[in-house]
Amino acid sequence: MPNHWLHRGHWKYFWFCALLISLYLNLYGRQWLPRWSLKFPRQWELPLRHEISTFMNWLVEDASLGFFSFREFTRGIAWLLDIPLQIARSIFSTGLMKGVGSDAVQLLPPLPWLGVIAVVAAIGYCAKDFKLALLVAGCFAYLAVFGQWQSAMDTLASILITVPIGVAGGLLLGIISYRHHWLEKLISPFLDLMQTIPIFAYLVPILFLFGFGPVAAMVGTIIYAMPPMVRITLHALQSVPPELVEFGRMAGCVPRQLLWKVLIPSARPGLMIGVNQVIMLSLNMVIIASMIGAGGLGYDVLTSLRRLDIGAGLESGLAIVVLAVALDRLSQALAVKTQVTRLKKAPSFVARHAWLLGTTLIITVTYLLGFFIPLVQSYPESLQLTTGSSLSEAVKWLNINMFDYFEAVKSALLLNVLIPLKRFLISLPWGWVIGLLAILGWQLGRWKLCLLVVGLALFILLTGQWQKAMITVYLCGISVVIAALIGIPLGIVSATSERAWRISQIIIDTLQTLPSFVYLIPVVMLFRVGDFSAMIAVVLYAITPAIRYTAHGIRSVDAQLIEAGIVSGCTKSQLLWKIRLPMAMPDILLGINQTIMLALSMLVITALVGTRDLGQEVYIALTRADTGQGMIAGLSIAAIAIIADRLIATSAKHTRQRLGLN
Amino acid sequence: MNKLNSWKNTLLMLGLSLACAATVQAAVESKDPIKLTLHDWTGQLISTQIMGEVLKKAGYNIQYVQADYIAQFAGLKTGDLHVAMEIWETTGREAMDEATATGKVENLGESGMLATEEWWYPDYMNDLCPGLPDWKALKNCAKQFSTPETAPMGRYLGAPVTWGGFDDERVEALDLPFEVVHAGTDAALFAELESAYQRKAPVLLWVYAPHWAPIKYKGEWVKFPDYNQECYSDPSWGLNPDMAYDCGKPTGPIWKVSWSGLKDKWPGAHKIIRAFKVDNAEMGAMISNVDLEGEKLEKIVSAWMNTNSARWQQWIK
């Protein structure tokens, strides 16, 4: 136990005093504190951003790998990645084309919509049951009926290439770091950075290195979506029971066999969670990818919202959601399916062949029919549905009739909570904040954590981002608190009732994959530009892990403990407060940790409604093509994320140990 | 897409392009596609597609690429992208200057449209704040334009920080009782205008043209002292002897830019793009056709091509 000489209770007094002193500093510090302690002098800043810019320029323009330059190398990779992408696009979206540009001639049409729907339904049926087939077919039918087919197929084509690459890359890195412990140590900080630095920060170099277009978008997506796969692979491999590995060794497996025949199959369920995460995160990037030439649904969302066509924006946004749902349910069903068949007798070769034959048959028949019956090839425009302007009308109604109520709630919150908190955080001397962080780090994880936290905080300070960072902490902090206040109760409810769980799952999926831009615009209409709108957007996006992890934690509380509670005469609320919640605490903490990560990753989006934080800094740097400035701001966001992550993860570990869960 | 039709179209287009190539121009320098960038606002889509159609008529192979307004400069420098049709003096100047300074990007001159941007208010505010559009009226109207967060100051919704515009300085130099709040994107900017307009609520914000907003909503630009260069550079000029920016905003051209290699690879296209000119009025009309009346963009572009054939034939001569 770490707190041997300072009792847990004593820390409580310490933090209470620290809070009082902070309040005092906030009210009276300005009068006697020297100016440099409040605002970090510019001449003390490190000129790091210029160095980063110079380095990036060198990397992009002059770096050489012997026979060819670094850029030629990355361009080569881009060329390689482009091949499967082009194939996927010609199958789903453009058809087989001869030539390029406006001179291109279509030799063969793409897969007809009926064919695609039939095939995904067949896969759904094969993977699970008729219900799944119906769900998946329904999802794809939505795309056709609401006129999103063409864009959706563009997006689907790039997802179908991106996800396998992300999964394979993540699997590979995960396997290597499972075998070599030093690599795990080495790549862990890079994984953190890949996940937390907003893509806008390094967008410009990526465009130089990989060319402008779908491939650069793919690279950006892979960078963002791969880290969870690495982590989950590592975790899944490490949690394979040692007896199993031992048994494999005794049976005389060489390392390769041990890996592919023993480790990976038994880690499969865990790995499938990774696949699911890669799919979800890839679809998250659709909007940003469309800004750099990926086109597809993301582009439709952006264009319609610039026209303030909320209905069209939502239709395109929902198309991303249904794609995500279809792909997610299919991949999950396939994961379970392979497990089940493994237990049963392996199906005969012919039985498996029947499905392959069936789908080939569907494709061939619909494809040929498509040549003669246009209805089979593409969904007729005259039968397309649209919500038209009804959604815009609904927002208008809300706006005209309810605005005063919204305004009252908003003003009350802003004037009494948000603005005072913002002022409070900005007015704290940086030395005091770093000192408190150091003590917190020491309390939780002794020297190692303390040094890490102080080092990261100093990085933010020395690169001149302190004030922006405090605004970031304020905006994310308050959003996370609100997200937790709403999300944890929702999680508890959905853990206790199957029906609520199903509903909340729909909400979670929608919130996680619906591009936030879709709801950002109505939110601005109802709440004006400013921190409040940004906060709502962040809460909506970041609430999902709070719900999910809480529900998971509560559901996985040992049934015997509950039993014991009931036997000793606990009431329902006692069961919840004395058993379920405390036992689920480590999970809830991890959920909050993830909530913080998502909140930070939303910063770049909220910059679009005019916040003044680090996200805005990244955005400004992008528009000025200043890679150094962007990277510094991006790294500062990453620093905040890592500080929060390490502190919370360590305290979750302590809680776990205290509860004897490990 | 109807299969039979698309076959027919392909044949038709093939025939057409052959015919065009034969009559208009015997051969173009290269059949590689010229890549034109598309952004996310309607005016830019229209001017780019008009340019594309004209280049097609001249026999060139063209390709549209969706790209971010600022990020595209990376592609223009390396030659991954070739032509960008709308770089606004008012918003893209810094990025454009940085790019042309490298020698890898070339400015192809003005597009004929003038970007206007200024403080703007809906016309129902005339009653609440008499004296508008003269800027001096704003001095007494702070209360009408204020919100709980800004009270007692008025609230002015400025453009995204990245667009510049010196509004914070302007407020100080002209001693206006207003607080400047920056929107992050123009979508947010106009979302707020739409919301206020529906409620007939007070609003004062940055509006620019050519855009559908000043067509859709009735209102006026605030009249500040006229812009001139000294006003921005010389503090002693103007009403406030100690500060610059005591005047309105400049209007500026919208530029066309290209990859520098364009003029060597497709000299003919280079000439045609330089010749392209469209003015504010016709662009405004086309934008409102698309955004407000819901017409298909392609239809508007081909209508323009039909009615202006004498003009574009002059360009491709």
Q: What Å distances lie between residue A166 and A159, A170, A603, B8, B224, CA to CA?
A: 10, 6, 24, 41, 55
Q: Which of B88, A620, A293, B41 is nearest to B97 (CA)?
A: B88
**Predicted-complex ipTM score:** 0.77
In a domain, B11, yes or no: no
B207 shares its domain with B185: yes
Per-residue DSSP letters for B37-106? EE-SSHHHHHHHHHHHHHHHHTT--EEEEE--TTTHHHHHHHTSS-EEEEEEHHHHHHHHHHHHHTTSEE
Q: How far apart are the first and last CA of chain B?
A: 35
A345 pLDDT tier (thresholds 50, 70, 90): low
A598 pLDDT tier (thresholds 50, 70, 90): confident
Token pair 């969302």 is found at A301
Average pLDDT, chain B: 85
Number of domains chain B contains = 2
Higher pLDDT, A356 or A554: A554
B130 shares its domain with B208: yes
In a domain, B268, yes or no: yes
Segment holding A107, helix H or strand E = strand A105-108
Distance CA A325, CA A578 (A): 36
A-contacting residues in B 188-207 (Cβ below 8 Å): 188-192, 194-195, 198-199, 201
Instruction: Compute the nearest-CA separation of A447 from chain B (Å).
Output: 41
Instruction: Compute the nearest-CA separation of A65 from chain B (Å).
Output: 20
Interface test with A, best of B66, B102, B192, B298 (most A CBs within 10 A): B66
Q: What Å distances lie between residue A331 and A120, A130, A221, A515, A541, CA to CA?
A: 12, 16, 19, 22, 23
Q: What is the pLDDT of residue B25?
A: 46
Residue positions counted in chain A: 662
B257 pLDDT tier (thresholds 50, 70, 90): very high
Q: Rounded to the nearest 5 degrees, what angle is found at the Cα of B138, between the Cα atoms of B137 and B142? A: 130
A207-216, A377-386, A633-642, A650-659: least confident range: A377-386
Q: What is the mean pLDDT of residues A409-415?
A: 89
In a domain, B247, yes or no: no
A61-70, B108-117, B124-133: least confident range: A61-70
Interface test with B, best of A200, A204, A291, A402 (most B CBs within 10 A): A291
B121 shares its domain with B212: yes
Instruction: Compute the nearest-CA separation of B238 from chain A (Å).
Output: 31
Q: Which of A193, A126, A46, A232 is nearest to A628 (CA)?
A: A46
Q: Where are the alpha helices (DSSP H) in A90-129?
A: 113-127
Neighboring chain A residues of B66 at a CB cutoff of 8 Å: 290, 293-295, 299
B125 shares its domain with B76: no
Count A/B contacts: CB-CB distance under 8 Å.
181
Higher pLDDT, A303 or A323: A323
Q: What is the mean pLDDT of residues B215-227?
A: 90
Q: B296: domain CATH number?
A: 3.40.190.10
In a domain, B16, yes or no: no
Interface test with B, best of A93, A94, A97, A102 (most B CBs within 10 A): A102
- CATH numbers and ranges of domains, chain A: 71-93+107-385 (1.10.3720.10), 392-427+463-659 (1.10.3720.10)
Q: Is the pLDDT of residue A59 over 50?
A: yes
Q: What is the pLDDT of residue A66?
A: 75
Q: Is the pLDDT of residue A656 over 70?
A: yes
Distance CA A563, CA A566 (A): 5
Q: 10 Å Cβ neighbour count for A412?
A: 11
Per-residue DSSP letters for A322-371? HHHHHHHHHHHHHHHHHHHHHHSPPPPHHHHHHHHHHHHHHHHHHHHHHH
Q: What distance lies between CA B260 and its chain's CA centroid?
A: 22
Higher pLDDT, A601 or B161: A601
B77 shares its domain with B123: no
B225 shares its domain with B301: no
Q: How many CA atoms lie within 13 Å of A77's alpha carbon, on the beta-carbon side?
A: 13
B162 shares its domain with B272: no
Distance CA B104, CA A17 (A): 60
B105 pLDDT tier (thresholds 50, 70, 90): very high
Q: Is the pLDDT of residue B7 over 60?
A: no
A51 pLDDT tier (thresholds 50, 70, 90): confident
Retrieve residue A229's tokens. 């796969």
B161 shares its domain with B186: yes
Closest residue, chain B, to A292 (C-alpha): B67
Token pair 């004897």 is found at A660
In which domain, by residue range, is B278 found? 28-114+253-316
Give the best-scoring range by mean pLDDT among A444-458, A585-599, B21-35. A444-458
In a domain, B4, yes or no: no
**φ/ψ bin of A450: left (φ > 0), alpha (ψ from -120 to 50), beta (otherwise):** alpha
Neighboring chain B residues of A103 at a CB cutoff of 8 Å: 17, 31, 33, 61
Q: Is the pLDDT of residue B4 over 50?
A: no
- Cβ(A213)–Cβ(B63) under 8 Å? no
Q: Where are the alpha helices (DSSP H) in chain B?
A: 3-23, 42-57, 72-78, 89-101, 125-128, 167-173, 186-199, 213-216, 229-233, 262-265, 267-275, 280-291, 297-307, 309-316
Distance CA A603, CA A614 (A): 7
**What proportion of chain B, given as a percentage, has pLDDT over 90?**
36
Q: Are A307 and B42 within 8 A, CB to CB?
A: yes
B175 shares its domain with B65: no
Distance CA A412, CA A415 (A): 5
Which of B10, B95, B199 comes nearest A623 by C-beta?
B95
Q: Are B33 and A103 within 8 A, CB to CB?
A: yes
Q: 10 Å Cβ neighbour count for B117?
A: 23
In a domain, B7, yes or no: no
Q: Are A414 and B182 within 8 A, CB to CB?
A: no
Considering B184, B202, B233, which residue would you say is the last residue of a domain? B233
Q: Which of B48, B185, B70, B45 is nearest to A292 (CA)?
A: B70
Any chain A CB within 8 A of the CB of B186? Answer: yes
**What proportion of chain A, given as a percentage, has pLDDT over 70?**
95
Q: What is the pLDDT of residue A551?
A: 87
Query: B284-289 contacts: CB < 8 A, separation 24 or more?
Result: B284/B209, B284/B210, B284/B215, B286/B43, B286/B46, B287/B42, B287/B43, B287/B46, B287/B210, B287/B211, B287/B212, B287/B215, B288/B212, B288/B215, B288/B216
Residue type, A158: S
Token pair 């929702």 is found at A490
Q: B124: domain CATH number?
A: 3.40.190.100
B135 shares its domain with B96: no
A-contacting residues in B 100-119 (Cβ below 8 Å): none
Q: What is the pLDDT of residue A339?
A: 56
In a domain, B241, yes or no: no
In a domain, B218, yes or no: yes
B21 pLDDT tier (thresholds 50, 70, 90): very low
Which phi and psi (to 5°) does residue A97 adopt? -110, 145
B110 shares its domain with B148: no
Q: 10 Å Cβ neighbour count for A455?
A: 11
Considering B233, B266, B297, which residue would you say is the last residue of a domain? B233
Any chain A CB within 8 A of the CB of B83? Answer: no
Average pLDDT, chain A: 84
B3 pLDDT tier (thresholds 50, 70, 90): very low
A-contacting residues in B 14-73 (Cβ below 8 Å): 14, 17, 31-35, 40-42, 52, 56, 61-63, 65-68, 70-73
Q: What is the mean pLDDT of residues A36-55?
A: 81
Higher pLDDT, B242 or B161: B242
Q: What Å distances lie between residue B314 and A437, B267, B302, CA to CA?
A: 70, 16, 17
Residue type, A328: D
Whole-prediction pTM value?
A: 0.83
Instruction: Compute the nearest-CA separation of B58 from chain A (Å).
Output: 13
Closest residue, chain B, to A604 (C-alpha): B184
* Sequence-separated (6 or more) residues with CB below 8 Å from residue A413: A532
Token pair 């709108």 is found at A533
A139 pLDDT tier (thresholds 50, 70, 90): very high
B131 shares its domain with B179: yes
Q: Is the pLDDT of residue B72 over 70?
A: yes
Token pair 């500040």 is found at B224
